[in-house]
Amino acid sequence: MPGAGSCASSPRLGNRALVPSGLMIMKAPHLVLSEQGNGIRLLAIDAGASKTVAVLAEANGAELARVRGAGAHVGLLGAGVWDVILPTAAAALAEVGAALVPEQLHCCLAIAGGEHVAALAAARAASPRFGCLQIISDGLAALSGCLGATEAGVMVAAGTGTVAWARSRHGEITKAGGHGFPAGDEGGGAWIGLQLIRHTLRRADAAGLDPLADAVLDRFGRDIARLHAWLTIASPADYATLAPIAFDLAVSSGSASAILRSAASELVHLAERADPSGELPLIVTGGLAAPLRPWLDETTRRPIRTTADAVIRGALSFARGADVPIGAPALLSGCTSITGRIVTPAGVVTGELRFRRSIEEVRPGPVDEDAPLILPGFVDLQVNGGGGHDIMVGDPDAVRDTGRFHRTRGVTTWLPTVITEAADELERVTRSVAAARADRRPGEPDMAGLHLEGPFISAKRRGTHGPHTAAPSWDLVSRLHAIVPLRVLTLAAELPGAIRLTTLAREAGIRVQLGHSDATYDEAVAFFAAGGSGVTHLYNAMSPLQGREPGVVGAALAHAPSAQIIADFIHVHPGALRAALRTIPDLFCVSDAVAAAGMPDGDYSLGGIHIRKQGDRVSNTAGALAGSAVPLDVAWHNLRALGLTVADATRRVSTLPAQYLGLTDRGALQSGLRADIVVMDDAGAVNRVYVEGEEDHGPATISPGRHASITPTPAASRPPPCCQHRSRHPPDPAPRPRRRP
């Protein structure tokens, strides 16, 4: 292979010379630069602790050149990673006779050390201005490279360090490990090196070196003092250089084989932490995947496959702006860029948000005074209807149109919610949700599953639910769960069998919430102790807080790990909302919207029950509340009216509900997460909404007849009357309330 000296030129970036040094260049044969993609090329970089690999590719993913350089762990180098990465990238371009022009490259940097947040931020701030840039963890890139866009499995990346990522059959992504050496990275090259050092020092203490310790000590000139000095300066990559000794002596040394068996066991344990079910296939990638395969096969009964180059494959997919394996047909599209006040996990940042299907970067900079507010997409975990549509009708089109209506109000992920009915009717409605999910179009909000709000509820506290309440039944839950993933289950804790169902549902990955319940305080506390994860529409349809019997409300305020609340200032008084905010840190909002949401005053239906909308209030014929007419964007404004900061209000309609469901790929505006984005104009109205980078320009379909007794006026793109009066917010002082309490 040609060495670094064969490069035709030394490209430059600005006034920085990019002279490749000590690089190994691997050129793909018979490939030349083409003009596909308007001259744009892909640059995928796998920056690990031991080595950096840069791959230059055409817009369709066809590899042109591959270069190997020094390691670039961001936790050790911070902004200095570019001093390693840029020469490596320049060498790849020089190999095909091209100069490094960052503006013509769509780059994905998959880097080790993503847990070092400050160092990662420094690296991002120092990055060149590529045409598009994504900086993601090498583990996330490996997951994409191993599993593509949709495959379920658990991926363990085993190189110098280790990390595991899993994607469930329901699409939920979880991570385990990746905490860095020496506290983490168990089973990786650095970990193996550390075990070799420990073995050697123990044998030296016993004055009886075995062949394995002998081989390790040879690396240090058989000088223990020299080894001790090395330990004070050694990096994880240095430890990993010792790992080949174990493999070389694995046949002849029982100690070496035992260390490798332990490494394989650590990788399997890592996979089990990411996938406790043990049901997903195991894919092991990275430099240790093939060498450790014999010991992996001994350690687990899971189906295993090993693969190489997963990080690069995943990085190329991200660079193309597609979460699909390289080789699938896709056109390279440019980044979308929005300038404004960007709500990030660290606070509100002025500047530019760049994205395709996922967030590329937040680039700080000046903005105009009337710049829009840019937020992560809202996540609504309780939606009965909206825009004139009722989920309980059991029509897939009504389900999709409900989602499209809520998209106009900023919702990008939602749970269609099914209320109390007979079992066969619940199954019919659930099948309609399944059909709607299967027919979801680009730009439509993601139906993450189903919220089953009935029938396991108290007859006394059923509110505007039908009369078909039932005893908790795992048989019914499992039948519905097989049709559509049940993400949330509401039940009354006082019912016989409620605790057992809570346990079974938790084991199936379902969040179980206490709601529509007349439980005593003690019964509610027992529910949380058994694994109950939250509360459905706190304060409403539950036994109240009293001095001598605190009821469900008292138990929730004292013990609930999380709770949902309807912040329309109708269901819950602002003072009660403040109390919940003080006592339940992970309190978040749901709309509990019904068909009347976004519609004129008039008569509507909720699961066949007559309801009436008057102003922002929806009630049944008895005058009791019957769901909400206020979408989640109004709840956000109401939280601001209580004095919450922009960031905290956003956290309670986006980040917390996403985290509650385990949806780690969304809920915040940061690099690598889904481009689910809400843009509010300077008057506070939802102006644009992106779902995975797609903007759905079609209007929400409003139902005029089936669910309403009047012909409503189609909803405009502006907020309903309860929102239109608001003047523009200052950045963080509390705005005027949305409605008077």
How many whole angstroms separate alpha carbon 293 and alpha carbon 641?
A: 58
Task: Give the distance, in angstroms, between the CA of residue 516 and the centroid of all CA atoms in the same chain.
Answer: 30
The tens digit of pLDDT for each residue in 201-258 reads: 998 887 678 889 989 988 888 888 899 999 988 888 889 999 999 999 988 888 999 9
At 225, phi and psi to the nearest 5? -60, -40
DSSP 143: H
Which has the minimum average pLDDT: 46-60, 271-285, 550-564, 680-694? 46-60
The pair of three-digit structure tokens given for residue 451, joined into one six-digit string: 């919220």
- Say if domain 153-303 classifies as CATH 3.40.50.1100: no
Q: What is the mean pLDDT of residues 292-296?
A: 88
Q: Are 174 and 203 in contact (CB under 8 A)?
A: no
3-state helix, strand, coil in the chain (%, to 5): 30, 25, 45
How many whole angstroms separate alpha carbon 53 and alpha carbon 258?
A: 31
The tens digit of pLDDT for each residue in 465-476 reads: 989 999 999 999
113: left (phi over 0), alpha (psi -120 to 50) or beta: left
**Candidates 3.20.20.140, 3.40.800.20, 3.10.450.50, 3.40.630.30; correct CATH number of 377-666?**
3.20.20.140
Which pLDDT value is given to residue 100? 65
Residue among 552, 553, 626, 633 nearest 591 (CA):
633
How many whole angstroms separate alpha carbon 1 and alpha carbon 270?
A: 37
Which of helix, strand or coil describes residue 77? helix
How many whole angstroms separate alpha carbon 435 and alpha carbon 432?
A: 5
Q: Are 291 and 247 in contact (CB under 8 A)?
A: yes
Residue among 128, 116, 152 nearest 45 (CA):
128
Which pLDDT value is given to residue 24? 32
How many whole angstroms separate alpha carbon 633 and alpha carbon 657?
A: 14
Q: Are 213 and 307 in contact (CB under 8 A)?
A: no
Task: Give the distance, in angstroms, between the CA of residue 279 and the centroid of all CA atoms in the same chain.
Answer: 21
- Residues of the chain with pLDDT > 70: what percent? 82
Q: Is the pLDDT of residue 724 over 60?
A: no
Which pLDDT value is given to residue 700? 52
Which has the minimum average pLDDT: 367-371, 551-555, 652-656? 367-371
Which pLDDT value is given to residue 78? 67
Residue 407 neighbours by CB distance under 10 Å: 25
Most confidently predicted of 52-56, 221-225, 585-589? 585-589
How many whole angstroms separate alpha carbon 143 and alpha carbon 133?
A: 19
17-27: b or e for each residue (b if 16 or more CB lie within 10 Å)?
Answer: ebebeebbbeb
Q: Is the pLDDT of residue 157 over 60?
A: yes
Residue 421: in which H helix or E strand, if any? none
Which pLDDT value is given to residue 2? 28
Q: Are 231 and 190 in contact (CB under 8 A)?
A: no
Map out the domains of the chain as residue ranges: 4-130, 153-303, 377-666
Which has the minimum average pLDDT: 56-65, 409-418, 493-502, 650-659? 56-65
Q: Are 431 and 479 in contact (CB under 8 A)?
A: no
Q: How far is CA 36 from CA 96, 105, 317, 499, 626, in A?
A: 16, 13, 17, 60, 57
The tens digit of pLDDT for each residue in 408-459 reads: 999 999 999 999 999 999 999 999 999 999 888 888 999 999 999 999 999 9
DSSP 582: H
Residue 706 identity (one-letter amino acid): R
Return the active site residues: 592
Task: Give the distance, in angstroms, between the CA of residue 79 and the centroid of all CA atoms in the same chain.
Answer: 26
Residue 550: in which H helix or E strand, if any? none
Q: Are 348 and 647 in contact (CB under 8 A)?
A: yes
Q: Which residues make beta-bridge pairs with 65?
A: 27, 56
Residue 106 identity (one-letter amino acid): H
How many whole angstroms separate alpha carbon 668 and alpha carbon 660?
A: 13
Helix locations, 206-301, DSSP H = 211-218, 224-231, 236-240, 243-248, 254-274, 293-299
Q: What is the mean pLDDT of residues 716-734?
A: 36
Q: Are 402 and 386 in contact (CB under 8 A)?
A: yes
Q: Are 323 and 357 in contact (CB under 8 A)?
A: yes
How many whole angstroms separate alpha carbon 201 and alpha carbon 189?
A: 19
Q: Return all residues near 740 (Cβ < 8 A) that are at least 6 apart.
A: none
The tens digit of pLDDT for each residue in 338-378 reads: 889 999 987 888 888 988 888 988 888 888 888 899 999 99
The tens digit of pLDDT for each residue in 97-132 reads: 776 676 777 888 888 765 566 666 676 777 777 777
How many whole angstroms separate alpha carbon 499 and alpha carbon 137?
A: 40
Residue 605 neighbours by CB distance under 10 Å: 20
Side by side, the strands of the sheet bearing 51-57 are 24-27, 63-70, 51-57, 41-47, 105-111, 132-137
Which pLDDT value is given to residue 119? 63
Q: What is the mean pLDDT of residues 149-175?
A: 81
Most confidently predicted of 65-69, 98-102, 299-303, 594-598? 594-598
Which pLDDT value is given to residue 11? 31
At 487, phi and psi to the nearest 5? -90, -35
The pair of three-digit structure tokens given for residue 397, joined into one six-digit string: 């089109």
Average pLDDT, the chain: 81
Positive/negative CA dihedral, 725, 728, 731, 736: negative
Q: Are 612 and 603 in contact (CB under 8 A)?
A: yes
Q: Is the pLDDT of residue 165 over 90?
A: no
Q: Which residues make beta-bridge pairs with 380?
A: 414
Residue among 454, 468, 471, 460 nearest 417 (CA):
454
Q: Are 509 and 551 in contact (CB under 8 A)?
A: no
How many whole angstroms separate alpha carbon 357 and alpha carbon 345?
A: 19
- Is residue 455 reached through a cis peptide bond, with omega within 30 degrees of 0 on the bond before it? yes
Residue 428: in which H helix or E strand, if any? helix 423-438
Residue 510: in which H helix or E strand, if any? none
How many whole angstroms separate alpha carbon 419 and alpha carbon 455?
A: 7
Q: Is the pLDDT of residue 542 over 90?
A: yes
Residue among 189, 195, 116 nearest 157 (CA):
189
At 241, phi and psi to the nearest 5? -65, -15
Which has the minimum average pLDDT: 75-79, 232-236, 532-536? 75-79
Confidence category of residue 698, pLDDT binned at 50, 70, 90: very low
**pTM score, whole prediction:** 0.59
Q: What is the mean pLDDT of residues 318-329?
A: 47
Which pLDDT value is given to residue 442? 82
At 331, phi and psi to the nearest 5? -95, 140
Q: Return all residues near 106 (Cβ < 8 A) that are at least 6 apart.
A: 40, 41, 42, 43, 130, 131, 132, 319, 320, 321, 332
Residue 736 neighbours by CB distance under 10 Å: 11
How many whole angstroms separate alpha carbon 187 and alpha carbon 292?
A: 10
Which has the minimum average pLDDT: 171-175, 355-359, 381-385, 514-518? 171-175
153-303 and 377-666 share one fold: no
Q: Are 593 and 387 in contact (CB under 8 A)?
A: no
How many whole angstroms separate alpha carbon 737 and alpha carbon 295?
A: 63
The pair of three-digit structure tokens given for residue 211, joined into one six-digit string: 């062949």
- Say which residue the tokens 């046949």 belong to: 251
- Residues of the chain with pLDDT > 90: what percent? 44
Q: Is the pLDDT of residue 293 over 90?
A: no
- Say which residue the tokens 């190489």 belong to: 308
Q: Are 595 and 386 in contact (CB under 8 A)?
A: yes
The pair of three-digit structure tokens given for residue 584, joined into one six-digit string: 């339940």
H helix count then E strand count, the chain? 23, 34
Specify the higher pLDDT residue, 715 or 701: 701
Q: Is the pLDDT of residue 5 over 60?
A: no
Superfamily of domain 4-130: ATPase, nucleotide binding domain (3.30.420.40)
Which has the minimum average pLDDT: 109-118, 652-661, 685-694? 109-118
